[in-house]
Amino acid sequence: GIQVEQSPPDLILQEGANSTLRCNFSDSVNNLQWFHQNPWGQLINLFYIPSGTKQNGRLSATTVATERYSLLYISSSQTTDSGVYFCAVVDSGYALNFGKGTSLLVTP
Partner 1 sequence: GAVVSQHPSWVICKSGTSVKIECRSLDFQATTMFWYRQFPKQSLMLMATSNEGSKATYEQGVEKDKFLINHASLTLSTLTVTSAHPEDSSFYICSARDGRGGSYEQYFGPGTRLTVT
Which residues contact partner 1 (rule: CB under 8 A)?
Answer: 30-31, 33, 35, 40-43, 45, 48, 50, 86, 88, 90, 93-101
Query: Residue 60 Cβ, how far from partner 1 at the closest point, in Å?
Result: 18
Nearest to 88 by CA among 36, 34, 49: 34
CB nearer partner 1, residue 65 or residue 90: 90
Find the shortest distance in angstroms from Cβ 55 to partner 1: 17
Strand locations in the chain, DSSP E?
Answer: 4-7, 10-14, 19-25, 32-37, 43-48, 52-56, 59-64, 69-74, 83-90, 96-98, 102-107
Q: How far is the CB of 61 from partner 1 (least distance, A)?
A: 14
